[in-house]
Amino acid sequence: MERVPAPRRQRNSNFDFAAKRRREIVLHARYVGAMDTEDRSGWLIAWLWHYQSAKDDPIWALIEAARVMWRPNRPISREEQARIPTITEAEAAAITEEASRTPKYLKADNLARFLGVTYEQRQALRLTTIGSINVGKRARKELRKLRARKALIAKRRAAGMRPQSESLSATKPWEKLGMSRAAWYRRNKPRSRGETTLSTAIFLVSEDRPVSPEGGAGLSERGFASKKARGLPSSQTATTMVADSHEALPTELRLLALGLAEADWAKNLARAA
């Protein structure tokens, strides 16, 4: 039988990877203050690698990108925004020419090495399209699994769930008390709607009491009160009372009252004769 591969998950058609990569390059440049260093052209070159627009002039777009990279990581007024420095057209043209000659580093880890992005910076900026120079792709995946596991454990703890080492199957408290597991559960398992009462659910009365020994006196070891404690006749007493009430009847009526057929009691009378 031929194996059918699982359908590949399609990425959202509205997702623009290049635009997201440009935003993350700008975030890292502002975080490390790249525009105030001599190597600021590296971030501008990486930004141009992911700029694919036929409408705008790349030189003008690079000048605006440099202005955004120079912008501080805080809200600023219009006056401060107007005073933000940027590169000149000649410098933008030179960087554009250099970007066309430089080999492109488009993969996540290769771009991280080109820009010098560390794992700490990646986590602080929440970068997803750029890797890191000190933690590889496989290690980042394992760290994500570890964080997800810790978040799940914290969520379970907040919901009141205990760890596996503290579960009843691991601690086995019934063994310390010298009883069976079923008996321990009957005595200690909490009930969400209160204790079970003596009557059937459809015949509840106000005089009902809980079945556990703590509910009151007069209960047997298994949690059920005897008929004598509840003021009811036992099965033997009830049988005697029924037999006494039938003694005043003729033999034929007594047999009919006991549910015997006419042919059966006739045969019995013939045998007795």
pLDDT score for 262: 53
Q: Which residue has the tokens 């994500």?
A: 144
Tell me which residue of 168, 128, 153, 99 sits closest to 25, measured CA to CA.
128
The per-residue pLDDT for 248 is 60
Q: What is the pTM of this model?
A: 0.58
Residue ranges of the chain whose pLDDT lies below 70: 1-2, 6, 9-13, 54-55, 190-273
pLDDT of residue 195: 44
pLDDT at 72: 79
The answer to whether 168 touches 174, Cβ cutoff 8 Å, is: no
Q: What are phi and psi of 134, to 5 degrees?
A: -110, -10
52 and 18 Cβ atoms separated by less than 8 Å: yes
